[in-house]
Protein backbone atom coordinates (compact mmCIF):
# COMPACT_ATOMS: atom_id res chain seq x y z
CA UNK A 1 0.00 0.00 0.00
CA UNK A 2 1.14 3.48 -0.73
CA UNK A 3 -0.01 7.05 -1.17
CA UNK A 4 0.85 9.20 -4.17
CA UNK A 5 0.70 12.99 -4.34
CA UNK A 6 0.85 14.47 -7.83
CA UNK A 7 2.03 17.89 -9.03
CA UNK A 8 4.14 18.64 -5.98
CA UNK A 9 6.44 21.62 -6.32
CA UNK A 10 8.96 23.23 -3.98
CA UNK A 11 9.70 19.97 -2.18
CA UNK A 12 13.05 18.23 -1.97
CA UNK A 13 13.15 15.41 0.55
CA UNK A 14 16.82 15.66 1.41
CA UNK A 15 16.63 19.42 1.86
CA UNK A 16 13.50 19.17 4.00
CA UNK A 17 14.25 16.06 6.06
CA UNK A 18 17.94 16.76 6.58
CA UNK A 19 18.01 20.48 7.37
CA UNK A 20 17.89 20.24 11.15
CA UNK A 21 14.14 20.50 11.75
CA UNK A 22 13.50 16.77 12.26
CA UNK A 23 15.82 14.00 13.42
CA UNK A 24 13.83 10.88 12.58
CA UNK A 25 14.23 10.29 8.83
CA UNK A 26 16.95 8.02 7.47
CA UNK A 27 18.11 8.15 3.89
CA UNK A 28 18.21 4.74 2.23
CA UNK A 29 20.72 3.66 -0.40
CA UNK A 30 18.31 4.48 -3.25
CA UNK A 31 17.82 8.09 -2.09
CA UNK A 32 14.40 7.53 -0.51
CA UNK A 33 13.75 8.33 3.15
CA UNK A 34 12.36 6.09 5.86
CA UNK A 35 10.53 7.72 8.76
CA UNK A 36 7.85 7.54 11.42
CA UNK A 37 5.18 10.21 11.91
CA UNK A 38 2.38 10.02 14.45
CA UNK A 39 3.03 6.32 14.88
CA UNK A 40 2.89 5.57 11.14
CA UNK A 41 5.84 4.50 9.05
CA UNK A 42 6.49 5.38 5.42
CA UNK A 43 9.25 5.38 2.85
CA UNK A 44 9.14 8.69 1.03
CA UNK A 45 10.45 9.22 -2.48
CA UNK A 46 10.19 12.03 -5.03
CA UNK A 47 10.09 11.26 -8.74
CA UNK A 48 9.84 14.55 -10.57
CA UNK A 49 6.76 16.26 -9.18
CA UNK A 50 5.34 13.06 -7.72
CA UNK A 51 5.68 12.26 -4.02
CA UNK A 52 5.25 8.60 -3.11
CA UNK A 53 4.81 7.37 0.45
CA UNK A 54 5.37 3.66 0.36
CA UNK A 55 3.82 1.72 3.22
CA UNK A 56 1.41 4.54 4.05
CA UNK A 57 -2.30 3.95 4.36
CA UNK A 58 -4.74 5.81 2.10
CA UNK A 59 -6.78 6.62 5.22
CA UNK A 60 -3.85 8.76 6.39
CA UNK A 61 -3.61 10.87 3.23
CA UNK A 62 -4.77 14.03 4.97
CA UNK A 63 -2.29 13.51 7.79
CA UNK A 64 0.63 13.17 5.36
CA UNK A 65 -0.54 16.12 3.27
CA UNK A 66 -0.55 18.16 6.43
CA UNK A 67 2.83 16.81 7.58
CA UNK A 68 4.57 17.89 4.37
CA UNK A 69 2.62 21.17 4.38
CA UNK A 70 1.47 20.54 0.83
CA UNK A 71 -1.33 23.10 0.91
CA UNK A 72 0.97 26.07 1.42
CA UNK A 73 2.32 27.87 -1.66
CA UNK A 74 6.06 27.91 -0.98
CA UNK A 75 6.77 29.30 -4.44
CA UNK A 76 4.87 32.47 -3.64
CA UNK A 77 6.39 32.72 -0.17
CA UNK A 78 9.90 32.32 -1.58
CA UNK A 79 9.26 35.19 -3.99
CA UNK A 80 7.94 37.39 -1.22
CA UNK A 81 10.90 36.63 1.06
CA UNK A 82 13.50 36.89 -1.68
CA UNK A 83 12.46 40.47 -2.39
CA UNK A 84 13.46 41.44 1.15
CA UNK A 85 17.21 40.90 0.84
CA UNK A 86 19.64 39.58 -1.80
CA UNK A 87 21.19 37.04 0.59
CA UNK A 88 17.68 35.82 1.45
CA UNK A 89 17.11 35.19 -2.26
CA UNK A 90 20.43 33.35 -2.46
CA UNK A 91 19.60 31.16 0.53
CA UNK A 92 16.19 30.24 -0.89
CA UNK A 93 17.74 29.44 -4.25
CA UNK A 94 20.38 27.26 -2.58
CA UNK A 95 17.75 24.85 -1.16
CA UNK A 96 14.48 25.67 -2.91
CA UNK A 97 12.88 22.40 -1.78
CA UNK A 98 12.80 23.13 1.95
CA UNK A 99 9.38 23.02 3.61
CA UNK A 100 8.47 23.38 7.27
CA UNK A 101 7.01 20.09 8.43
CA UNK A 102 4.01 19.72 10.71
CA UNK A 103 5.64 17.56 13.34
CA UNK A 104 4.06 16.13 16.47
CA UNK A 105 4.21 18.86 19.11
CA UNK A 106 5.54 16.64 21.89
CA UNK A 107 8.19 15.16 19.61
CA UNK A 108 9.37 18.64 18.66
CA UNK A 109 9.43 19.67 22.31
CA UNK A 110 11.60 16.75 23.41
CA UNK A 111 13.79 16.80 20.30
CA UNK A 112 14.71 20.44 20.77
CA UNK A 113 15.27 20.07 24.50
CA UNK A 114 17.79 17.42 23.48
CA UNK A 115 19.27 19.75 20.86
CA UNK A 116 20.67 22.24 23.36
CA UNK A 117 24.46 22.46 23.37
CA UNK A 118 24.52 19.40 21.14
CA UNK A 119 25.28 18.53 17.54
CA UNK A 120 22.76 17.34 14.99
CA UNK A 121 24.33 13.93 14.46
CA UNK A 122 24.25 13.14 18.17
CA UNK A 123 20.75 14.58 18.60
CA UNK A 124 19.51 12.08 16.02
CA UNK A 125 21.22 9.23 17.87
CA UNK A 126 19.68 10.20 21.19
CA UNK A 127 16.21 10.53 19.64
CA UNK A 128 16.62 7.08 18.04
CA UNK A 129 17.54 5.53 21.36
CA UNK A 130 14.67 7.32 23.10
CA UNK A 131 12.20 5.79 20.63
CA UNK A 132 13.76 2.32 20.71
CA UNK A 133 13.73 2.23 24.50
CA UNK A 134 10.41 3.92 25.29
CA UNK A 135 8.33 4.10 22.09
CA UNK A 136 5.67 1.66 20.97
CA UNK A 137 6.94 -0.85 18.41
CA UNK A 138 5.23 -0.52 15.04
CA UNK A 139 4.53 -3.57 12.94
CA UNK A 140 6.03 -3.55 9.48
CA UNK A 141 8.79 -4.85 7.27
CA UNK A 142 11.52 -3.02 9.14
CA UNK A 143 11.64 -2.45 12.90
CA UNK A 144 10.25 0.93 13.86
CA UNK A 145 9.12 2.71 16.98
CA UNK A 146 6.69 5.53 17.61
CA UNK A 147 7.93 8.57 19.47
CA UNK A 148 7.26 7.94 23.17
CA UNK A 149 4.23 9.58 24.74
CA UNK A 150 4.44 12.13 27.54
CA UNK A 151 2.59 9.66 29.78
CA UNK A 152 5.24 7.02 29.18
CA UNK A 153 8.10 9.36 30.11
CA UNK A 154 6.43 11.28 32.93
CA UNK A 155 7.09 8.74 35.68
CA UNK A 156 10.69 7.92 34.85
CA UNK A 157 13.69 8.94 36.93
CA UNK A 158 16.69 10.57 35.27
CA UNK A 159 18.73 7.38 35.60
CA UNK A 160 16.04 5.44 33.75
CA UNK A 161 17.06 7.47 30.72
CA UNK A 162 20.70 6.39 30.99
CA UNK A 163 20.40 4.20 27.86
CA UNK A 164 19.72 7.21 25.65
CA UNK A 165 22.87 9.02 26.90
CA UNK A 166 21.45 12.55 26.85
CA UNK A 167 23.40 13.51 29.96
CA UNK A 168 22.25 16.56 31.87
CA UNK A 169 19.12 16.79 29.68
CA UNK A 170 17.48 13.72 31.27
CA UNK A 171 15.77 15.76 33.98
CA UNK A 172 14.62 18.32 31.40
CA UNK A 173 12.96 15.59 29.32
CA UNK A 174 11.14 14.25 32.36
CA UNK A 175 10.02 17.69 33.49
CA UNK A 176 8.60 18.37 30.02
CA UNK A 177 6.82 15.01 29.95
CA UNK A 178 5.31 15.61 33.40
CA UNK A 179 4.01 19.06 32.54
CA UNK A 180 2.45 17.81 29.32
CA UNK A 181 1.04 14.62 30.85
CA UNK A 182 -0.55 16.33 33.85
CA UNK A 183 -1.99 19.17 31.80
CA UNK A 184 0.19 21.96 33.24
CA UNK A 185 1.07 22.63 29.60
CA UNK A 186 -1.57 22.08 26.92
CA UNK A 187 0.38 22.14 23.67
CA UNK A 188 -2.74 22.60 21.55
CA UNK A 189 -3.73 25.57 23.66
CA UNK A 190 -0.22 26.98 23.24
CA UNK A 191 -0.64 26.75 19.47
CA UNK A 192 -3.43 29.32 19.58
CA UNK A 193 -1.82 31.79 21.99
CA UNK A 194 -0.27 35.13 21.07
CA UNK A 195 3.41 34.55 20.35
CA UNK A 196 4.96 35.98 23.51
CA UNK A 197 2.41 34.23 25.69
CA UNK A 198 2.99 30.91 23.92
CA UNK A 199 6.72 31.26 24.40
CA UNK A 200 6.35 32.06 28.12
CA UNK A 201 4.06 29.08 28.56
CA UNK A 202 6.66 26.70 27.09
CA UNK A 203 9.43 28.31 29.12
CA UNK A 204 7.79 27.05 32.31
CA UNK A 205 9.54 23.79 31.47
CA UNK A 206 13.01 23.43 32.94
CA UNK A 207 15.43 23.26 30.04
CA UNK A 208 13.26 25.29 27.69
CA UNK A 209 14.58 28.77 27.02
CA UNK A 210 13.76 31.21 24.25
CA UNK A 211 15.45 29.32 21.44
CA UNK A 212 13.97 25.90 22.26
CA UNK A 213 10.54 27.49 22.74
CA UNK A 214 10.83 29.11 19.31
CA UNK A 215 11.74 25.76 17.78
CA UNK A 216 8.76 24.04 19.38
CA UNK A 217 6.49 26.80 18.11
CA UNK A 218 7.85 26.66 14.57
CA UNK A 219 8.41 22.93 14.05
CA UNK A 220 5.86 21.41 16.41
CA UNK A 221 3.04 23.93 16.39
CA UNK A 222 3.60 25.33 12.89
CA UNK A 223 3.85 28.91 14.04
CA UNK A 224 5.53 30.17 10.89
CA UNK A 225 6.16 33.56 12.49
CA UNK A 226 8.65 31.89 14.88
CA UNK A 227 12.31 32.68 14.26
CA UNK A 228 14.71 30.53 16.36
CA UNK A 229 18.07 32.24 16.85
CA UNK A 230 20.77 29.64 17.38
CA UNK A 231 24.52 30.22 16.98
CA UNK A 232 24.30 29.94 13.18
CA UNK A 233 21.36 32.32 12.88
CA UNK A 234 23.02 34.85 15.19
CA UNK A 235 26.13 34.79 13.03
CA UNK A 236 24.05 35.05 9.87
CA UNK A 237 22.05 37.99 11.17
CA UNK A 238 25.21 39.82 12.24
CA UNK A 239 27.31 39.10 9.15
CA UNK A 240 24.86 38.64 6.29
CA UNK A 241 21.75 40.56 7.35
CA UNK A 242 23.14 43.61 9.06
CA UNK A 243 20.24 45.93 9.83
CA UNK A 244 17.50 43.33 9.54
CA UNK A 245 15.57 41.97 12.51
CA UNK A 246 13.54 38.78 12.82
CA UNK A 247 10.33 40.82 12.63
CA UNK A 248 11.35 42.31 9.30
CA UNK A 249 10.86 38.88 7.67
CA UNK A 250 7.12 39.06 8.27
CA UNK A 251 4.58 36.35 8.92
CA UNK A 252 6.68 33.66 7.21
CA UNK A 253 9.83 34.51 9.14
CA UNK A 254 10.18 30.88 10.22
CA UNK A 255 10.47 29.74 6.61
CA UNK A 256 13.06 32.44 5.96
CA UNK A 257 14.90 31.26 9.05
CA UNK A 258 15.06 27.70 7.73
CA UNK A 259 16.49 28.76 4.35
CA UNK A 260 19.06 30.95 6.13
CA UNK A 261 19.98 28.34 8.76
CA UNK A 262 20.59 25.66 6.16
CA UNK A 263 22.46 28.01 3.83
CA UNK A 264 24.70 29.19 6.67
CA UNK A 265 25.45 25.71 7.91
CA UNK A 266 26.39 24.60 4.41
CA UNK A 267 28.65 27.67 3.95
CA UNK A 268 30.74 27.89 7.13
CA UNK A 269 33.45 29.75 5.21
CA UNK A 270 31.19 32.83 5.25
CA UNK A 271 31.81 33.32 8.97
Partner DNA sequence: CGCCAGGTTGTCG
Partner DNA sequence: CGACAACATGGC
Q: Under the criterion CB under 7 A, does residue 125 sit at the interface with DNA?
A: yes
Binding part of the chain for DNA, among 51-59, 68-76, 112-120, 239-247 by CB under 7 A, reads 112-120
CB 12, CB 96: distance < 8 Å:
yes
| Residue from 28, 151, 167, 184 binding DNA (CB under 7 A) | 167
| Residue from 7, 29, 119, 141 binding DNA (CB under 7 A) | 119
- E runs forming strands in 79-129: none
Binding part of the chain for DNA, among 27-35, 63-71, 158-166, 188-196 by CB under 7 A, reads 158-166
Binding pattern for the stretch 13-52 against DNA, x by CB under 7 A and - elsewhere:
------xxx-------------------------------
Q: Under the criterion CB under 7 A, does residue 228 sit at the interface with DNA?
A: yes
Give the DSSP H or E segment for 234. helix 231-239
Q: Which is nearer to DNA, 10 or 18 (by Cβ)? A: 18
Q: Under the criterion CB under 7 A, does residue 247 sit at the interface with DNA?
A: no
As to burial, measured by CB atoms within 10 angstroms (0-12 exposed, 13-18 middle, 19+ buried), residue 149 is: middle
Q: How far apart are CA 127 and CA 174, in angstroms?
A: 14
| Residue from 43, 213, 221, 237 binding DNA (CB under 7 A) | 213
Query: Strand pairing of 33-37 and 40-47?
Result: antiparallel
Q: How far is the CB of 137 from DNA (least distance, A)?
A: 23
CB 120, CB 20: distance < 8 Å:
yes
Q: Under the criterion CB under 7 A, does residue 231 sit at the interface with DNA?
A: yes
Q: Under the criterion CB under 7 A, does residue 270 sit at the interface with DNA?
A: no
**How far is the CA of 268 from the CAs of 105, 116, 258, 263, in angstroms?**
30, 20, 16, 9
Binding part of the chain for DNA, among 69-77, 139-147, 185-193, 225-233 by CB under 7 A, reads 225-233
DSSP assignment of 112-170 equals HHHTTT--HHHHHHHHHHHHHHHSPEE-SSS-EEPPPPHHHHHT--GGGGGGG--GGGH
Q: Which is nearer to DNA, 138 or 203 (by Cβ)? A: 203
Q: How many residues bind DNA (CB under 7 A)?
A: 39
Residues contacting residue 195 through CB under 8 Å, at least 6 positions apart: 217, 223, 225, 226
Q: Which is nearer to DNA, 64 or 261 (by Cβ)? A: 261
Q: Under the criterion CB under 7 A, does residue 255 sit at the interface with DNA?
A: no
Q: How far apart are CA 4 and CA 21, in angstroms?
A: 24
- Which residues are near DNA by CB under 7 A? 19-21, 115-123, 125, 162, 165-168, 203, 205-213, 215, 228-233, 257-258, 261, 265
Amino acid sequence: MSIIFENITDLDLRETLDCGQTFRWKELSDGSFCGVVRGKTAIAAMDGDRLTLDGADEADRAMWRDYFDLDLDYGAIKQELSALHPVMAQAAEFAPGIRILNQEPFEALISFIISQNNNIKRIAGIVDRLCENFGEPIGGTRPAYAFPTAERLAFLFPDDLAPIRAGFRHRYIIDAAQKVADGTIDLEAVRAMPYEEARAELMQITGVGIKVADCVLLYGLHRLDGFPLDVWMKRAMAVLFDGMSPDSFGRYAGIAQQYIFHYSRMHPELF
